[in-house]
């Protein structure tokens, strides 16, 4: 369920959340405030509005019902040049329902538009930009958000997606700061990743109490997968086929739980890329891994990967890999290999649990080493490690590795996270999946060796 703040952002209402469902409307034009209040009335939402402060007394409604309230026949029809670029804010009710939030966010960032269409469910959505807008910045931003777009004309961008996805893009864009646009696509992408990472680190969810973190991860992952479900034990499972699907089936895995509850009122302390907690654990084991996989899920939409990806966000890993042990075997039947993201430190490609249990043929781990070197990602090496969900996948005959994700001193109040190292794990997984043909060849060669 979306919060009121999310619902407002996705529809393009510029209001500032003041906490406890209270929103300051002083920066929104009067016509848009009036339309917002009319929409709340149509949705039978209880609220008060005094001195530009909107206080909502009802729980958030589902987005389907909210769209019914803000939509009306011929909304957005003939809006044309509906405002003077850079001088006047657009009227939300003059914009198509599914693109209004995205248009407001673009204009907030100084990427001025002068026409739009959400496609009305019959054709591809598109946005016209003012001729003075820097289209290079527009495209860098959209690529950083990993949106599938095409520059149809010098100032017209076509969105190769269903119109419902435009709402997600608007919400993602909300966190982008104008000065980021000067620093390029990769910088924007990393900053958005760090925003997600910080959000996840602030959600409690110790073993056996993963409901809230599972709900948040499910909401973030849903737009990027074909199917998603929670199994009988509480593991969050999803999958998606990319391109023809005639490639490897790869399991991506991280665990949802932390070893203990987060301390109430704690703050994340940042010293450059090194993050820690003001009190108690940081929870980077394994919220860092969760953030990495969510970032990879977004990237896969516009990547060159050909095959199937399965996601397993397990519960109660800290209690003895319980969620992974209880995962229904059918979900793993066609899995060719697994990538787990739950290793301390930097640069480790864990291929065995000490000297006791191999996780994979060493050539699978060496494939990661080679890809890292070819991609200029220095420092990645195969090594032995400790226990993790990787053990369970290996016991089921799946070639598996566990990658470092940047945390140190986990399970203690001295826990830290190197966010630069965490992001390098994102880059390594992308590089590996971009080599899906070579990855398939490697896995086939391992199967032939086993057969002999």
Instruction: For 358-377, write each residue's pLDDT tens digit.
Output: 999 999 999 999 999 999 99
User: Are 158 and 263 found together in one domain?
Assistant: no
Q: Is the pLDDT of residue 110 over 90?
A: yes
- Determine what percent of the chain is predicted with pLDDT higher than 90: 92
Q: Which two tokens stand for residue 308?
A: 């199937």
Q: What is the pLDDT of residues 422-437, one digit of tens each?
A: 999 999 999 999 999 9
Strands of 407-408's sheet, edge to edge?
268-271, 274-277, 416-418, 407-408
- Give residue 287's pLDDT band: very low, low, confident or very high (50, 70, 90): very high
Model pLDDT, residue 449: 63
Residue range 217-241: mean pLDDT, rounded: 97
Indicate whether 259 and 363 sit together in one domain: yes
The model's pLDDT over 157-180, given as tens digits with 9 standing for 90+, comes to: 999 999 999 999 999 999 999 999
Residue 209 sits in the same domain as residue 339: yes
Query: 316 and 395 share a domain?
Result: yes
Q: What is the pLDDT of residues 244-263, one digit of tens each?
A: 999 999 999 999 999 999 99
- What pLDDT sits at residue 311? 98
Do 230 and 175 lie in one domain? The reply is: no
Q: Compute the average pLDDT of residues 294-323.
A: 96
Q: What is the token pair recorded at 170?
A: 């608007």
Q: Tell me the mean pLDDT in the region 93-97.
A: 95
Q: Which two tokens stand for residue 235?
A: 């593991």
CB atoms under 10 Å from CB of 245, counted, come to 11
Overall average pLDDT of the 11-24 stretch: 94
Residue 229 has pLDDT above 90, yes or no: yes
The pLDDT, as a whole number, for residue 81 is: 44
Q: What does the pLDDT read at residue 80?
A: 45
Interaxial angle between packed helices 284-300 and 419-434, expressed in degrees from 0 to 180 and rounded to the nearest 10: 40
| Count of beta carbons in the 10 Å neighbourhood of residue 271 | 8
Please report, for residues 22, 193, 321, 379, the alpha-carbon distance to residue 424 in angstroms, rounded to integers and kept in the order given: 39, 12, 26, 10
What confidence category does residue 451 fall into, taking pLDDT thresholds of 50, 70 and 90?
very low
- The pLDDT score that the predictor gives to residue 450 is 62
Residues 6+ apart with CB under 8 A from 315: 207, 208, 210, 214, 233, 234, 235, 255, 256, 257, 322, 323
pLDDT at residue 52 greater than cutoff 70 = yes
Domain-ending residue, one of 129, 152, 183: 183
The last residue of a domain, from among 15, 37, 70: 70
Question: Any residues with CB less than 8 A from the CB of 168 and at least 6 apart, and which?
Answer: 10, 223
Query: Residue 64: is its pLDDT beyond 60?
Result: yes
Same domain, 419 and 274: yes
Give yes or no: residues 171 and 226 share one domain: no
The answer to whether residues 417 and 288 touch, using CB atoms and an 8 Å cutoff, is: yes
Domain total for the chain? 3
Could you tell me what percent of the chain has a pLDDT over 70? Answer: 97
Q: Are residues 274 and 399 in the same domain?
A: yes
Q: What is the DSSP letter of 359?
A: -
Q: Are residues 63 and 114 in the same domain?
A: no
The domain boundary residue, chosen from 157, 183, 209: 183
What is the domain range of residue 43?
Answer: 1-70
Which CATH number fits the domain that encloses residue 293?
3.40.630.10
For position 19, what pLDDT does the model report? 85
Is residue 354 very low, low, confident or very high in pLDDT (cuts 50, 70, 90)? confident
Pair 342, 404: CB distance under 8 Å: no
Whether 164 and 60 map to the same domain: the answer is: no
Confidence of residue 66 (pLDDT cuts 50, 70, 90): very high
> 242 with 385, same domain?
yes
**Residues 54 and 22: beta-carbon distance below 8 Å:** yes
**Are 178 and 207 in the same domain?**
no
| pLDDT recorded at residue 452 | 44
Residue 144 has pLDDT above 60, yes or no: yes
Across all residues in the chain, what is the average pLDDT? 94
What is the DSSP code string of 246-284?
-S-EEEEEEE--BSSPPPTT--EEEETTEEEESSS---H
pLDDT tier, 87 (very low <50, low <70, confident <90, very high otherwise): low
pLDDT at 297: 98
């Amino acid at each position: 369920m979306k919060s009121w703040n999310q619902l407002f952002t996705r529809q393009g209402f510029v209001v500032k959340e003041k906490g406890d469902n209270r929103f300051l409307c002083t920066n929104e034009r009067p016509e848009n405030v009036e339309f917002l209040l009319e929409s709340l009335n149509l949705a039978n939402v209880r609220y008060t509005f005094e001195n530009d402060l909107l206080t909502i007394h009802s729980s958030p409604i589902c987005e389907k019902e909210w769209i019914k309230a803000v939509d009306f026949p011929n909304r957005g029809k003939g809006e044309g040049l509906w405002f003077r670029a850079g001088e006047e804010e657009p009227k939300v009710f003059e914009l198509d329902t599914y693109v209004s939030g995205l248009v407001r966010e673009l204009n907030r960032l100084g990427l001025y538009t002068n026409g739009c269409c959400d496609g009305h469910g019959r054709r591809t959505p598109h946005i016209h930009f003012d001729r003075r807008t820097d289209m290079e910045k527009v495209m860098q931003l959209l690529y950083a958000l990993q949106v599938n777009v095409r520059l149809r004309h010098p100032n017209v961008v076509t969105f190769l997606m269903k119109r419902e996805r435009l709402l997600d893009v608007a919400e993602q864009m909300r966190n982008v700061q104008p000065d980021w646009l000067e620093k390029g696509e990769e910088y924007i992408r990393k900053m958005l990743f760090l925003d997600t990472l910080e959000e996840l680190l602030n959600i409690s969810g110790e073993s056996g109490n993963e409901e809230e973190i599972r709900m948040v991860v499910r909401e973030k992952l849903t737009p990027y997968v074909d199917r998603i479900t929670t199994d009988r034990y509480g593991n969050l499972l999803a999958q998606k086929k990319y391109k023809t699907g005639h490639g490897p089936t790869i399991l991506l895995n991280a665990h949802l739980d932390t070893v203990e509850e987060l301390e109430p009122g704690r703050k994340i302390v940042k010293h450059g890329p090194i993050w820690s907690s003001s009190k108690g654990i940081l929870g980077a084991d394994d919220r860092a891994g969760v953030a990495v996989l969510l970032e990879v899920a977004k990237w896969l939409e516009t990547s060159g990967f050909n095959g199937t990806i399965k996601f397993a966000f397990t519960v109660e890993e800290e209690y003895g890999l319980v969620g992974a042990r209880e995962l229904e075997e059918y979900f793993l039947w066609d899995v060719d290999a697994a990538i787990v993201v739950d290793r301390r430190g930097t640069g480790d490609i864990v291929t065995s649990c000490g000297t006791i249990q191999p996780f994979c043929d060493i050539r699978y781990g060496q494939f990661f080493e080679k890809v890292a070197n070819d991609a200029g990602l220095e420092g990645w090496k195969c090594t032995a490690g400790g226990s993790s969900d990787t053990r369970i996948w290996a016991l089921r005959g799946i070639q598996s590795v566990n990658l470092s994700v940047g945390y140190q001193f986990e399970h203690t109040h001295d826990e830290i996270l190197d966010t630069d190292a965490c992001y390098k794990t994102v880059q390594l997984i992308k590089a590996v999946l971009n080599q899906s043909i070579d990855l398939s060849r490697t896995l086939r060669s391992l199967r032939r060796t086993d057969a002999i």
